[in-house]
Each structure stands twice: as C-alpha cells, then as structure tokens.
Chains A and B, each alone.
Chain A
Amino acid sequence: MTDRRARVTATVDACRFALARRDARAVVAVVGVGYLLAYLWVTDLLAIRPDAGTGWLLVDDPFARALERRGPISFEPVALLEFGYGTVLVSPIDVAIGAALAGLVGLNLALASLAVVRPAACGIDGSAGGAKKGAGAGLAAAVPALLSGSVCCAPAIALALGIQVSGALLATLPWLLPIGTALLVGSLGYLAGKIDVAPAATRESAARATGLEENR
C-alpha cells in the first residue's frame, strides 16, 4: 500500500517536474496535438477534403444528443464545422476521450525523453552504467505507451485497411479504451522511476558523493 502510494507520488512529482520544463512541455504539446488530430481522423471525426465549403451546423438539442452512443466508445456529434480544407464533426465526449489519451501519450513521451537527458542514475538505478540503462529503459518504455495509445483506434484501423473482423474482435472493443488507458497510466508510473527529479544542486552533490565512494 505504502509502495503504491509512493509510486503514485513519484509519478505525480515526475509529471509536475516534466511540465515545469520547457523542453518536456513542448514534447507534451506536439505529441498530444498530433495524437488528438490522428485520433479524430482515424475515428472519422476529422476529414481532409479539398471540396469542403465553409460553415457550420448545430443539432437542435446538443446536450441530449451528445450523450447518445453511436459505437462502443463513440458518441453522437452535435455540430459539423466545414473549414474549407476539410470538416470536423464535433462530438464532445469523443473529443474529451481523445484529449485525455493524447495527454497521457504526450506525458509518456515527455517522461521518456527526460529519462534520456536526466536518467535516475543516482537514485533507483544506482549501479555503474545506470545512466545508460535508465536512458535505454526510458526509450523502450515509450514503445508500449505508443502501442497502448493506439489500441483504442484498432477497430477503425482494421476497417480502414480492409482487415477481416471477427465477432471475437468486436467483443473486445468495449475493453480497448480502459485497457489502453490503464497501460498508459502504468507506463507513466514506470517511466517516473526512470528519471531524476531532484534539483540540479542536489544532483551534483549526490554525484560528488558517489565519486568519493568510488575513489575510496
């Protein structure tokens, strides 16, 4: 219980630390926006069409309509925006789901990048060569984060690629979103242990202490 609480605290600290840094914030923003756009495109809410006009359309009762399900993890759009080069169907719940996933994927990649530049060499992984290991693990951890981020779109990707769909696959659809979310949160916790969130001064003194130990 205490370990779990410590892991949660460490994860929150790592996320705060990442969001306080400009480079990590840039990673979160770029990856998050890119992921959200891809999510909307794969789920057919965003379409790029050169023949699209300009204008918008709103349904009569948007609040009730927004809660109507139209798929295992998708809900009714309440508006259509045409912006000249394409269209966006505004489905508030779908956008919220996509944004939450985009945030998690962005944070995962931000922590993975921090694991490269600020590996937890002196903390969790204190052995010789720990810095390298931490960085490698950080990069490796980005892979499951990306995979779990894409799991929600798997059915749409299967249909788009013409892959045959079985009843068994369809039965798994409602589970893909919670599984993907859990994997993203889990990998976030794993990555949090791979980076050093200590202030620079503390880090340097710890490094000197480690050097003294090694010189003895």
Chain B
Amino acid sequence: MTRRSRRSVLALAAVGLAGCLGGSGPGRSGPYDEGASGTEATPDGMTASPDDAALEASQVPTADEQLPVEYSLETLREATVREVVPRDGIPSIDDPAFEPVDESVDRLPGDPVFGVVRNGEAKAYPQSVLVHHEIVNDEIGGEPVAVTYCPLTGTAMGFERGDVEFGVSGHLLNSNLVMYDRAEESYWPQMLATAMEGPLEAASLVEFPVRWTTWERWTEAYPDSVVLASDQDYVRDYGNDPYGAYNPPSGYYAEDTDWTFAPLTADDRYPPKRPFLCSRPDDGPLAVSLEALQEHGVYGIGGDGREDDYLATYDPTFDVGHLYRVDDATEYGYDADAGAVIDPDGERRDPADLPLESVYAYDAMWFAWAGFYPSTSVHAHD
C-alpha cells in the first residue's frame, strides 16, 4: 500500500495517549456516502460459543479463545452477500510455485507484496498475484499455513491450517472475503477469523501476521527469499488488477472512493479506503492511522476504560506498524533518525522486535474495520 513517505528528520516523538492525539470512539458524521443501497446491521454481540465435540473432531487448528466479534451469528449470516461468484470461482493456489526474488522480473520497486517469516523461512506473495486468487495454501518453515488477501477490504492475513485447505466461498460479508475450509465446510470471514456458519461456527482460527510492504523493501531485507511466481495452475493476467492499482493508488483502492458493497455499519469519519493498523484485544477494538504512526513513530493507546496500555510502533524497514501491550505507554519515545523505539531505560530498540507482549494487528481499509467493529477507538490526526 503506497503511503506518505516518512519524514527524513524527526526528532524524538512524544507518545500521545488516546484522546490527546485524536483518539476517539464511534461516530458517523462526515463527508462520505453512507451507502444508500445497504441496510445497516445492529451490532447485537456474539453470544454463541463453539461446539466442544466439533472442536474436538476438527482438523482445522482453532484458537483457545473466541476472538471478539460484535454481531450475532444470525446477523452475520443475514448480512452475507451470497454467491457473488461461484465457490472456487476465484481459485485458491493449492500447489504454489515460487522463484528466488533475484530472478523475479516485471515488478516495480513500489509494488505491494505480502511478506511472511516463520521458523526462519521468508516468503513474499505479490499483491498482483493474490488479487486473482485471494488464498494460497502453502507451507512455511515446515508448517501448513494459508496466506490470504481480500482486495475489497485491503486485508492480508495468515492462518494456521493443519492439513486442511481453505478455498474462496464466493460469499462476501461486509465486503470481506468469506473463506471455507475444505474439511468440515465451515465459513470463515477473513477479518473476523471466526466461523459464522458450519460445524465450527463461533470458533476462531489461529492467526499470524503478514507484512504489507513493497517489493523494494522486501528484497533489500530478504535478498535470499523466494516469491510466489506468476506461473500457477490457473492462468490469469497478473499485470491487470481488476479493481485498480496500488502503485500509485487508483480505482477501487483510491482512498476517497466509495465502497462497492454497503458495510455492516457505515462510519464516514475517514475516507473509506484509508488504511489503519487494526486490532481487537479483549478490552476493545482499536484502529491506529498508519499516516499518524509514520509521522510519530510510536503511538500510545490507553485510558478510555481500557485495562491495558498499548504501544503502536512504526517499522521503517518495511513501512508497517506493530502493536504491543505495555504497562505505561507514555514511557516510550521514537528516534526517527535511527528508526528505533526508545524504551523507558533510554535504550534504542528495533520497532519490530521489542521485548514486550506482541498483540496481533493487521492493516485494513477504514470502512471495513468500522463495519465489523463499530465500537472501535480511533487514533489519528483528524
């Protein structure tokens, strides 16, 4: 995702707590179209829990705890737009072919790629390929995983999959990819990572982070890694993105453009497609403006009834954000020249590898995040 380039010189940046730097709760006044064609869903909360027997028998690795979801299963099912395309009409890549990054051609430095590093193995997945397949059933570092991407919500996420493959169901929920597992056929909206129907309904997947970065940044950091090749089982024109372009953003991906499918809940405080670093910890969902994070280097989130403080950090190597749980977010700073986080002891540390509890977060378009998590707190300039 092309974002504003970081400022060349930035002195130590003070950490702003929610409320100090524009953190705010839900609201919906703003200049963007709320989508006349959609009926908004009421966030009636998830009360269902997964069936123990189904979990026991499941071949799909599931999380110990259900992830936060703000709508009931019934509401989610009713809001699902079914059979936008036939099941597997967007074919997942099940036998992926890779090539060394230094042999890969026809890619511009700023083209977006999704990078994954697990158990010492690094792999890159070009957005230009995933936009046509959305799911890659792969193995990284000896572990079977699914690397997934939804172009309509701008979300790249990784899931453990055991011996099970995931496919594209053809349904959309809140514009988001609904995956199905090919073992038990439960249906999994990608951003929720929680099944909305099927034997494993209300169960959650085991997630891992996928870095949304650029080809140039990835190849500099991992020159010996491999990249998903353009020669796969299904033939597609990988130079032609049906939705638009990211380098620079245009078409559907342009920040100011409207959504195509009305969201569960419309919140037009920000441009619909603006990317935020999003997370859903137990004490409430949050969204940090990537633009603000780039500018400040670190961003503290606390108060507002939260049990914990959180620290979002900007990683200039990959132009991505990370999120940590901290005791006191105000004790951290940022050295822009070194691209390092300054910890409470004054030590410079890698923003991607702080000795803190890491909290799973992913980039998402604003409208999609606000649609799924209308109670989200927001941390941005404006």
Contacts and interface: CB of A to CB of B under 8 A. Distances in A.
* Bound together: yes
Given A71-B86, A162-B257, A165-B260, A80 B240 contact: no
B53 interface: no
A89 B237 contact: yes
Contacts of B90: 70
Interface residues of B, number: 31
B235 interface: yes
Interface in A138-183: 159, 162-167, 170
B258 A87 contact: no
Interface stretch (B77-85, B201-209, B279-287, B342-350): B77-85
A96 interface: no
A69 interface: yes
Contacts of B91: 70
Interface string A89-125: 1000000000000000000000000000000000000
Nearest to A78: B235
B38 interface: yes
B248 interface: no
B236 A166 contact: no
B328 interface: no
B86 A70 contact: yes
Given A47-B237, A51-B106, A70-B91, 12 more contacts: A59-B233, A70-B86, A71-B86, A77-B235, A89-B236, A89-B237, A159-B243, A162-B257, A162-B258, A164-B259, A164-B260, A167-B82
B240 A47 contact: yes
Interface of A: 44, 47, 49, 51-53, 57-60, 65, 69-72, 76-80, 87, 89, 159, 162-167, 170
B27 to A, nearest CB: 22
Do most interface residues of chain B lie in helix, strand or loop, or is the interface mixed? Answer: loop
A79 B235 contact: yes
Contact of B239 (A47, A58, A72): A47
Contacts of A80: 235-237
Contact of B81 (A87, A159, A170): A170
Which 8 pairs of residues, A with B, have the shortest CB-CB distance?
A70-B89, A47-B240, A164-B37, A166-B37, A87-B237, A80-B235, A69-B86, A167-B81
B360 interface: no
Interface string B16-48: 000000000000000000011110000000000
Interface string B239-279: 11011000000001000011111100000000000000000
Contacts of A72: 85-86
A77 B91 CA distance: 12
A52 B260 contact: no
